[in-house]
Amino acid sequence: MILKIRNLFRENLPAIKVWLIFTIILTSLPFILYVLGLSSNLPFTFRTYLFDFWGYFWDGSHYIYISQYGYKFPLQAFFPGYPLLLKLLNYVIPLSAAYRVNYLITFLMIVSLYKFMDLLEIKPVNKLKSLILFLAYPTSFFFLANYTESLYILLSIWALIFLKRGDYLKASIANFFLGTIKISSVIFPILLTFGFIKQKYQSLNLRSWLYLAGLNLISVLGILGYFIYLQIYQKGYQIYFKAQAEWGRGHFSFFTDYIGLQEEFYFERISEIVIFLLLIYIFVKVYKKIDSEIYAFSLYHFLLPVLTGTLLSLNRLSLYCFPVLLFMFSKLASNKVAYYLTLIIFIAWQLAGIYTFINGNFVG
């Protein structure tokens, strides 16, 4: 047992080192920005250093509010899985420490990403470079903020790994937990059904179809459970869609709302357009070069924010396209000049995003 743990540690040591460096840098940045006079919104105290800089703004504050006081309109747009995790941790450790659970989640996510790259058939020599570039990506700082990105990606990784292994029950259970985090997990039953039929099409019978139906039921129980809760305790499940509309979601269009969008803070607008074009390029380049279900997973998570008509949150939600991003970054790793140029641009871009986020601006 000890030998197995030691070997596991050695196998993932590069990823562990990357997580440690990433965490130290991002934990230090609020203090550095404060010392330089670039973070004037919050007084610097021990509490603000541990919590407010990463949990005070935007969605993070909403998740923390739900974990403490429950739902009020329009917070029903946020699924309960992450706030519930914070609340449960509060029974073990003080809530102010529970807020920092993303440090652990990000660690597990990074180690899992390192393993997931084997599924993408990324060469071992390029895995570490791909991971570094992914963590340098402009909005990767959200992994340590009180957002659900690191948890959603962690669960998605294992849902995809189990799916490709043919371990459909574990894939369904992983998606059950995903369904407590975001409604976008509804894609997994479709991927599971496609993968199941593709693997077992020669031996499908009534028992197989019933088993598949059971797997899909497990997959959507997280989503169904939340809507049942809304129906019973929050004046009906429709309140979710009303809350989505309140946040500028809940409808589909293609750039019709974006054209007339007025925004004094242009950093987000420019970032959205650049990331949109970058992802279009990446999806074209990696087409038919990675597994079809994994490609479909990435494309679906790209189209969701694009089809809201505003590109709102595309900067952050583009992180869910991690399979195609990692695959593309692995190709860049073979070109030293292109790799380091991209790395420098990404780091500068992320630093600008962190500065704007900590100063209370919406960047994703």
pLDDT, tens only, 266-275? 777 888 889 9
Alpha helices by DSSP H, listed for 70-145, are 81-89, 95-98, 101-119, 124-136
d(CA 325, CA 82): 25
Q: Which residue do the tokens 């809507």 mark? A: 227
Q: Which two tokens stand for residue 47?
A: 């509490």
- Residue 355 · residue 271 · CB < 8 Å: no
d(CA 55, CA 148): 12
Q: Which two tokens stand for residue 283?
A: 């999806």
pLDDT tens-digit readout, 319-359: 999 999 999 999 999 899 999 999 999 999 999 888 888 77
- Provide mean pLDDT across the span 219-233: 95
Instruction: Tell me the whole-structure pTM to 2 decimals.
Output: 0.92
CB atoms within 10 A of CB 204: 12
Q: Is the pLDDT of residue 232 over 70?
A: yes
What's residue 256's pLDDT?
A: 46
Q: Is the pLDDT of residue 93 over 90?
A: no
3-class SS at 308? strand
Compute the residue count for the chain: 364
Q: Which residue has the higher pLDDT, 306 or 92?
A: 306
Q: Is the pLDDT of residue 37 over 80?
A: no
Q: Which residue has the higher pLDDT, 250 or 330?
A: 330
Q: Which residues pair with 308 in a beta bridge?
A: 253
User: Of 214, 159, 146, 147, nearest to 185 (Cα)?
Assistant: 159
What's residue 149's pLDDT?
A: 94
Phi, psi of 93 (to 5 degrees): -130, 160
What's residue 223's pLDDT?
A: 96
What's residue 11's pLDDT?
A: 76
3-class SS at 253? strand
Residue 259: pLDDT band (50, 70, 90) is very low
What's residue 54's pLDDT?
A: 64
Query: Average per-residue pLDDT in the chain?
Result: 85
Q: Which two tokens stand for residue 341?
A: 């140029």
What's residue 260's pLDDT?
A: 46
DSSP state for residue 50 in the 8-state scheme: I
Q: Is the pLDDT of residue 310 over 70?
A: no
Phi, psi of 333 (to 5 degrees): -60, -20
The percent of residues above 70 in pLDDT, for the chain, comes to 85
